[in-house]
Amino acid sequence: MMAANRRRCNRFGVTALAKEKENVAELIQKAQMLLSQRQHQEARTIFLRVLEGRPDHPDAHYGLATVCFQQGDVLGAAHHFKEVTRHDPLRSGAFVNLGALYNHLGRDDDAVAALRRGIQLDPNRAEGYYNLGLIYRRIGKLDLAVEAYREAVRLQPGLADAHFNLANTLLDGGKYDYAITHYRAALKARPNWPEARQGLNLAETGWKEEQTAVLAPETVVDVPADATLPPDRPLDPAVHGVLLSEIHLAAAEAEAVTKNLGEEVAPQLETAIKELSQCFLRSDIPAHEMTSRLEAFEASAQRLRKIQRELEHIHNRIEAAGEDLKRK
């Protein structure tokens, strides 16, 4: 008799638990629908009702965090996203949102930690890298910001805000050619964007001025009339000092340029070519990665072309100085 009563109690307990879960699921679904309809207060009431009976329910905390954020309660939103990560520590989106809120509150270390955890849980979450870029740029770590933004646009090529912020960061660093590329990508995704158009104009102006500075002829220096070079007399620094200084300076510049070519540009170009070649040897590489590798190759090629122009300009300077020595 006691065993039969126990079985009936067990069946009743299981049924009650199933009914409770069903009711909670229905309440969460209703609250989420109200939230999508921007009926924030009604949704808040239901989420709080769920938490009264189930204070550990991550979906209720997630929904309430969203309500708080949309109503401007940043601290409340951060609290409930933190609760989500506590009760459901594998939910990547909660960590990413929590990191974005910590960034808004100026809690830099907490923001970076939360975002990195979110990215660790889901490496393909572009908004995680985007928010990481926002933090790094704000605290002045521009190289890390560029890396984060690049990863965001690699994962989501149409993410206009990431392209725009990446372009701004590159512009701050004087990398005008790269900035132009990403301003154009931002405008492609969002054509009527005055800030992006203004940034593009600044980048194009900076790039043109940079090219003009590289290609502009050097100022002609007046050489004294007695700065002659008899065939049987060696160069005299006291007489030919201006021309000798010009040749020495140009040679030093050529050495610096070729060193940059060997240590930085050539390896980058070699890597870009290898990665691009893989796209033609494999069929499983997505289109956005092909775009990223093409962009890396073009950037390396532009650096190479720039160095070539610099070397041509330096060669012309040395040649002109040499001709002056022959005539004097």
Using one digit for the tens of pLDDT, what is the confidence trace for 43-93? Answer: 898 888 888 889 889 998 898 999 999 889 999 999 999 999 999 999 999
Q: How many residues in the chain?
A: 328
- Euclidean distance between CA atoms 24 and 18, whole angstroms: 10
Tokens of 30: 């209703």
Tokens of 277: 């070649």
Distance of CA 321 to the CA centre of its chain: 45
**pTM for this entry:** 0.59
Name the amino acid, one letter, at 216: A
Tokens of 45: 């009431």
pLDDT single digits (tens) 143-167? 999 999 999 999 999 999 999 999 9
Tokens of 183: 């301003």
* DSSP letter (8 states) at residue 219: P
- Euclidean distance between CA atoms 85 and 13, whole angstroms: 30
- Residue where the block lists tokens 């629908």: 33
